[in-house]
Structure 1
């Protein structure tokens, strides 16, 4: 049985919108350049090494697929080689290597994927998908990189929920730039 792991960059006030600054959001670019954060790069590589697959929403898939195939290095090699599953009703022919579009009921498809894959199925970004997975109790772990900035506006990682979602802090550390890396397990 696999484990669904949400992995996201987030501001102190919960914003996930436009971390790289290329979507036109007025507060975009709050992550800065990853080259300026070698410890974050190492965390991303560690996470990729431990992943059995990536699970993405269409917009996040297109963002990643537009960048990673042309990159080189150990992280690029690992991401490009991993199986990638995309939850989308509009994407028909994914171009990024090893990509599969999950058709039909996304909740059922992800539940099946979780049962059939061993290891971590990492969900980078994909805030809409994150909300769906949380609402259907399909999340096993959250890995949040919390950047020390408050934007005051923007799309938040979590929207309204039907009820509380109990979590347990299993790891906390700080990397350069005052970025808190928090890992929570679903407390079932």
Structure 2
């Protein structure tokens, strides 16, 4: 069974919107795009590289697909991620796209939860959900996320799209590995283990 792994960059207050640049995603009037680079470091890059060691595909929502497809095909070939991002298979969940042109991309058909269940039971390595906040919310609601790989950066934004937004299904997590970089970013891998338990002191 392939694992569905949500890979996301977060601020300390949980915002995932537009880490990469001011023009990445200004939806809902977001004005803090590009918050990640000033608080990142080379250890974060090494952790992100590790996210892809056992994954051979990405699962993307339409907005993230559009951003990636406009950048990676012509990105610097000296960037170690360029070949990886272009060669990996991309599965795209969208209600508006009718075709996908980026190499090795497939548009999922029908209900996204059913399509992802079929992917999980197919042959292959793990599948990374990168960015794609709306898609991640859908997968969480249907219990389809097996693992979270998060970088939690030392900056507070105060507004923007959050990975764990209102309506998130309560879930218990088991830490697989957690480290802190020299600049204070928490790099954590957490496995889902079902419903949380409750107790009192």
**TM-score tier after normalising by the smaller chain length:** over 0.9
How far off is 1:49 after superposition? 3.3
Match of 1:4 in 2: 4
Pairing partner for 1:64 from 35, 51, 68: 68
Whole-Å Cα distance in 1 between the matches of residues 169 and 149 of structure 2? 21
Match of 1:124 in 2: 130
Q: How does 1:9-24 map to 2 (within 5 A)?
A: 9-20=9-20, 21-22=22-23, 23-24=25-26
Asked if structure 1 preserves the Cα contact closer than 8 Å seen for 2:4 and 2:120, the reply is yes
Whole-Å Cα distance in 1 between the matches of residues 170 and 146 of structure 2? 15
Whole-Å Cα distance in 2 between the matches of residues 27 and 176 of structure 1? 23
* 1:102 partnered with 2:114: no
Whole-Å Cα distance in 1 between the matches of residues 169 and 94 of structure 2? 26
| Deviation per residue, 1:102-158 (Å, 9 max, x gap) | 011000000100110332100010000111000100000000100111111111112
Asked if structure 2 preserves the Cα contact closer than 8 Å seen for 1:39 and 1:175, the reply is yes
Match of 1:42 in 2: 46
* Runs of at least 5 residues in structure 1 that lack an aligned partner in the other structure: none
Q: SS where residue 9 of structure 2 aligns?
A: strand
* 1:51 partnered with 2:55: yes
* 1:141 partnered with 2:125: no
* TM-score under structure 2 length normalisation: 0.87
Larger Rg: 2
Q: Which has the higher strand share?
A: 1
Whole-Å Cα distance in 2 between the matches of residues 39 and 133 of structure 1? 29
| Deviation per residue, 1:49-105 (Å, 9 max, x gap) | 321210000000111111111121331101100110000111122121000000110
Asked if structure 2 preserves the Cα contact closer than 8 Å seen for 1:89 and 1:103, the reply is no
Q: SS where residue 156 of structure 2 aligns?
A: coil
Q: SS where residue 85 of structure 1 aligns?
A: strand
Q: How does 1:164-179 map to 2 (within 5 A)?
A: 164-179=170-185
Tell me the matched-pair count.
187
Pairing partner for 1:28 from 25, 33, 36: 33
